[in-house]
Structure 1
Amino acid sequence: MKLLHYREDGKIKLGIATVHGVVDVEAAVGGEAAPELKSADAALAAGGEALDRLRELDRRIAEEGPAAFKESLRNEAELSLEPCVVRPGKLICVGLNYRRHAEETGSPIPAYPILFNKFDNALSAHGRDIRLPKTSDKTDYEAELGIVIGRTAFDVAPEEALDYVGGYCNVNDVSARDLQVRTSQWLLGKSLDGFCPIGPYLVTADAVPEPNSLGIRCTVNGELRQSSNTSDMIFDCRTIVSYISRHMTLQPGDLIMTGTPEGVVLGYPEDRQVYLKTGDIVTVEIDGLGSLTNRFI
């Protein structure tokens, strides 16, 4: 199931993306929707029953067809999308988590997951423009798989870790490299406004049976820059969720960014490094998760 958020009549609404278009959940259930059906965040926090109700609606849409949902159907191309998780409590990033990316940057293979964070001011959505900061000349793209936590997780074993995942999404971990390396802490170069576009969909975990074997790609103005597979991760999704949960409690809606593969500008020889500039269009695409596109201005 593919969930998304969009803005209509000044409100953020929850939709289910289907082959027929986006179905407005509130309109489809009739009248005022229950609180747990008003956002993906709320559905995750409410637990399995809320997600089951959304899955049942998704099943009905497939079986009954678009005519039965005519009043609640929206054209996705015409929607103003919001982040697929609206208010994640934590935005946790994993650095240098692809073997070939570590090699291209000349970094040693880490013994433990390298963790840092972004803040919610960095959240952005598919189709939005991202402002290049005046304080940086080296803004880079990073295609990443995002893990969205589905239920409270603390000290979970690796073999059980994926049971705590609510879904997955595309992420572009936009990075201002000159700010990132100004100090040993990467936060400044990672948390500028709009530097974490996610989506367009939150694809529920049941639709992604093996997150550790997904093709992941990034294009800039149509040119393929990154092309890899999540199987190249040094620490796979199970290990990441388990490791973080051993140190802090993960809550429904928390977003974990799992690192980027090789092909970022930083990994090019210095004489070939051309960082993002005004008008560049960046697309992140992961198998089964759709495409996340943003223009830099």
Structure 2
Amino acid sequence: MKLVRYGAPGQELPGIIDEAGVLRSLSPLVADITAAIIAPAGQRMLRALDLSRLPAVAGSPRLGVPVAGIRQIVAVGLNYRQHAEEAKMAIPAEPMLFSKAISSLSGPGDDILVRAGSQKTDWEVELGIVIGTEAECVSEADALSHVAGYCNVNDVSERAWQLEKGGQFFKGKSARSFCPVGPWLATADEIRRPQELALSLSVNGKVMQTGNTADMIFGVPQLVSYISHYMTLMPGDLIISGTPAGVGLGMVPPQFLRAGDTVTHSITGLGEQHHNVVLY
């Protein structure tokens, strides 16, 4: 299933995309796409529906973050071998974890906001992993059973704030619009091989990043298991799993986003995002 939330910011409605690509409203049945809806019981309820009987949504409404009420964003740094090489950093022995503020969440077509004084705003297309059932100290063998689904994410980063201001990565990762998610949440049954997904990102039509989740240092089962040993993962939690090579910081000379740029990125089975970069 492909689950979406559509409508104006803060007023999103629940929807589902049928096999023909038609967006259909779930409002007659559920209030929103919440942790309860993406949990196993909620997914079973949705799978039993005859989607052709649901009302089609007219036009091309704005899409929001496909899951409401995300509780936390756990991010993974340096998780692609080629990205570690371009950063001239050693392959990590364990996953490098940091967090992003919930207020950084935005929709898959919303503007990326570059704040005044920002000089090094960078792009990072990433596979998002959404938790469906509580996970605490789970094994790698059991980890995927706790995954509700996957989504396309951009871990937008202000590199000066991240690397030159001291302290944690958090401050360079958390500005408004720095975590666009979507266009949809593809439930786990649609993405049966999460380590075989192609990722691509373009700026102003020029391809900057290409990669495949096969290049991950720590795959999805390893990440879910590892993180669950340090915190309890709850339904609706979002893990963003690292980015392939091709970020602006790694270019010679480095290149960063400026107002007027456009950013487009996609992941196999998880749709495409389009953003205008504007001065905030």
TM-score when scaled to structure 1? 0.89
- The alignment status of 1:55 with 2:56, answered yes or no, reads no
Greater Cα offset, 48-57 or 154-163: 48-57
From 142, 151, 156, the equivalent of 1:174 is 156
TM-fit CA distance, 1:131: 1.2
SS in 1 for 2:153: strand
Note closer, same or farther for the CA distance 1:125–1:267 as it changes in structure 2 (3 Å cut).
same
The 5-angstrom pairing of residues 7-26 of structure 1 reads 7=7, 11-18=11-18, 19-26=20-27
State the Cα deviation string for residues 225-268 of structure 1 (Å, max 9, x = none).
11110010001100000000011100000000000000011111
| Cα RMSD for the two superposed structures | 1.6
Which amino acid in the other structure matches residue 82 of structure 1?
G
Are 2:275 and 1:294 equivalent residues in the alignment? Answer: yes
Q: Aligned to 2:214, which of 227, 231, 242?
A: 231
**Which structure: greater helix fraction?**
1
The 8 Å contact of residues 87 and 120 in structure 1, kept in 2 or not, is answered as: no
Per the TM alignment, residue 200 of structure 1 is displaced from its structure 2 partner at its CA by 0.6
Contact 1:215-1:227 at 8 Å conserved across structures = yes
Taking only the aligned residue pairs, the percentage that are identical comes to: 42
Given the alignment, which residue of 278, 287, 297 partners 2:259?
A: 278
Q: Match for 2:271: what amino acid?
A: G
Q: Show CA shifts across 1:1-25 (max 9, x none).
A: 1000012697321100122421001
Query: Which consecutive unaligned segments of at least 5 residues does structure 1 have?
Result: 28-32
Q: How far apart, CA to CA, are the structure 2 residues paired with 1:165 and 1:10?
A: 26
The aligned residue for residue 96 of structure 2 is 114
Report how many aligned residue pairs link the two structures.
276
Aligned with 2:176 (options 193, 197, 215): 193
1:39 aligns with 2:33: yes
* C-alpha contact (below 8 Å) 2:101/2:170 kept by paired residues: no
Between Structure 1 and Structure 2, whose CA radius of gyration is higher? 1
The aligned runs of 1:117-132 (5 Å cut-off) are: 117-132=99-114
Distance in 2, matches of 1:237 and 1:226, equals 20
Partner of 1:30: none
SS at match of 2:258: coil
User: In 2, distance between residues paired with 1:8 and 1:105?
Assistant: 38
CA contact (8 A) 2:249 2:255 kept: no
Distance 1:161 1:20, change over 3 A: closer
Separation (CA, whole Å) in 2 of partners of 1:20 and 1:292? 16
Letter in 2 for 1:41: A
Report the Cα offset of residue 274 of structure 1: 2.3
- Counterparts of 2:269 and 2:34 in 1: how far apart (Å)? 18
Q: Secondary structure at the match of 2:63?
A: strand
- What CA distance in whole angstroms lies between the structure 2 residues aligned with 1:186 and 1:8? 31
Does structure 2 conserve the Cα–Cα contact (< 8 Å) formed by 1:226 and 1:263?
yes
Choose from 90, 114, 129 the match for 1:147.
129
Alpha-carbon spacing, 1:54–1:296, altered in 2? closer, same or farther (3 Å): same
Structure 2 counterpart SS, 1:82: coil
Separation in 2, partners of 1:118, 1:279? 25
TM-score, scaled relative to structure 2: 0.94
1:14–1:34 distance in 2 versus 1, CA, 3 Å: closer
Q: Which consecutive unaligned segments of at least 5 residues does structure 2 have?
A: none
Q: 1:97-144 CA deviation, whole Å, 9 max, x = no partner? A: 000000001111111100000011100001111210113101000000
